Structure 1
Amino acid sequence: MAIPDLNQLRTFVVLYELRTLTATADFLHVTQPTVSYTLARLRERFADDLFRREGHVMVPTPRATALFGPLHEALAQIEATVSDSIAFEPSAFTGELSLGLTSIGEQTFLPPIMSALDREHSRARLAVRRLDADQVEEELVRGNLDLAITVAQMDASRLWRTPVRAVEYVALASRRHPLPPSGPDMFDGRGFVRVSSRGGHVHPLQLLLEHGLMPQVALTVEEYGTLPAVLKDTDLVTLLPRHVAEVFCGWFPTLQIAELPWPGQSTPVAIFTRRESSLTPAQRWFRRLVHGAVVEPGTEV
């Protein structure tokens, strides 16, 4: 039986990533019947269903999962070879690039990214979009986001990921209402401000639950940016990443960091994009630029 051509294999890889016939057709700029026909040919070639429909989603079979890695990497090498033969000039690129960030991501990562773009004399138009941990994976896979920086956990088989910063959590409170030295009773009688975990930061909630502190939550907010103004004039406390707490203390000298009495390490912050074979030269350049701008020295890649 004939070996599948590159178009058929690319259809397989994109369908594996997007999981719907419609989205695959849109991405490849073909009709849905074309994708269905290609899938039928692939099923015949590999003697396997490859994908089974569950509602509106095409779920890969074990055979498809086994095929995806080798086929994706082979296509990525071909794409990279072709792309490398076309010179990409950052200063000539005037298109839009979309970046998914949480509110604290905007405060901590956007300044060095903008500085890096300025050093490259880039004329790219950057659109920052608020990151939702429940939707970011699909937004990336479908091409609605070019890149995201998040602590959220996502399907590594569908996305490219590299860690850029360790995350250690601390407590933050007003100097007018200092916390006692770190210890198991340091939060007795204190109320907490909890930030929604919509952006992927679930570790504070886990700590509050694990240590029986949820009854002391006096305020729940959507954005980390709200915290400094609330904390500086109250005796409330919050749990947040150290690098964010340091930024807030720089803005508001009346705030003070306190060490937690228990381990506070969580999932590292990572850069996510689509897999290599799905990226344009502009997206590859942007990923390299962002990585260089935000990676913390010593972070394993």
Structure 2
Amino acid sequence: MALPDLNQLRTFVVLYEMRSLTAAADRLHVTQPTVSYTLARLRERFGDDLFRREGHVMVPTTRATQLFGPLHEALAQIDAVVSVPDNFEPAQFTGELMLGLTSIGEQTFLPPIMAALAREAAGPHLQVERLDADQVEDGLIRGTIDLAMTVSLIATPSLWRTRVRAVEYVALSSGSHPLPPTGPRMFADRRFVRVSARGGHVFPLRALSEHGLLPQVALTVEEYATVPAVLEATDLVVLLPRHVAEVFCGWFPGLRIAELPWPGQSTPVSLYTRREASLSPAQRWFRALVVGAVADGVDHTDRADPTD
């Protein structure tokens, strides 16, 4: 049986990313029947359905998922060889870039990123996608996001990763209701705000559980955005990363940071993208800009290593 040609493989890659026959046809500038015909040929060639329709979504099979990474990277390398090299000029780039951040990442990392874009006089349309920790890998591999930052450790050779910021946890409360000096009883009579771990910050919940403080949780919320205002108006306490607490104290000067009575570090914030060969010049530039804007000053010379 003849090997698939490049157009067939490109159709497969685009269909994997878009999960829709119609959307794939639009991106490839062909008709939907053409995509359907190509999919039938690919199914015959690989002896697998590759995609199964579930409602309006084409869901990839296990075989399709195995094929996607190597085929996507191979096509990207071919495109890089046959294309005329771009002299990328940030100031002339007005395309769209998709950045995956948690709510806490939006509050702490967007200001320095936007300031860095302004310094380079770059004018992309930056769209922020709210990130769930368990969706990072799929979004990056499919290309629905260009870059993501999370404390979740994603150990896969399919993605490029670099550490950008250490994460140390502290307690935050109102200055009107200060915490006592650090010690084993500093939380004895205090109530807590618990924030969802959807964004990957699992340390606070684990710490509350391990130290018997879960019964003292008075409020559970999905996002960090309203937490500083709640703290200022109550005697509640929240456990959160130091760099976020410092941002909140800038917004609400009446808040106070307290050191934890036990070790309070977790996995660092890491930046993830596709592998180097799969990135466009704009994506490479944006990745370097973000690292420079949010990194905590440690040496990042090893950041090109996909396994970090």
**CA–CA distance in structure 2, aligned partners of residues 99 and 197 of structure 1:** 20
Residue of structure 2 in register with 1:49 after alignment: 48
Aligned-residue RMSD, C-alpha: 3.4
More deviation, 117-126/202-211: 202-211
Q: Deviations over 1:111-154 (max 9, x none)?
A: 22122212212132334454455666666566554433333566
Scaled by the length of structure 1, what TM-score is found?
0.79
Check 1:182–1:11 CA distance in 2 against 1; reply closer, same or farther (3 A cut).
Answer: farther
1:193 is the counterpart of 2:193: yes
**CA–CA distance in structure 2, aligned partners of residues 198 and 26 of structure 1:** 34
Structure 1 unaligned segments of length 5 or more: list them.
none
**CA–CA distance in structure 2, aligned partners of residues 282 and 272 of structure 1:** 15
Amino acid at match of 1:259: E
% identical aligned pairs: 72
* Post-superposition offset of 1:66: 4.5
Give 1:1-12 correspondences, 5 Å limit. 1-12=1-12
* Post-superposition offset of 1:171: 1.3
Residue of structure 1 in register with 2:59 after alignment: 58
Residue of structure 2 in register with 1:256 after alignment: 256
Aligned residue pair count: 299
Q: Secondary structure at the match of 1:167?
A: coil
**CA–CA distance in structure 2, aligned partners of residues 32 and 261 of structure 1:** 61
1:191–1:216 contact (8 Å) kept in structure 2: yes
Q: Secondary structure at the match of 2:123?
A: coil
1:169 is the counterpart of 2:172: no
Scaled by the length of structure 2, what TM-score is found?
0.78
1:17–1:158 contact (8 Å) kept in structure 2: no
Amino acid at match of 2:188: D
**CA–CA distance in structure 2, aligned partners of residues 6 and 108 of structure 1:** 43
Check 1:30–1:100 CA distance in 2 against 1; reply closer, same or farther (3 A cut).
Answer: same
1:221 is the counterpart of 2:191: no
Q: Deviations over 1:152-186 (max 9, x none)?
A: 56695775544322322221123443333444433
2:165–2:270 contact (8 Å) kept in structure 1: yes
* Post-superposition offset of 1:293: 1.6
2:69–2:158 contact (8 Å) kept in structure 1: no
2:72–2:278 contact (8 Å) kept in structure 1: no
Give 1:126-165 correspondences, 5 Å limit. 126-133=126-133, 145-152=145-152, 156=156, 160-165=160-165
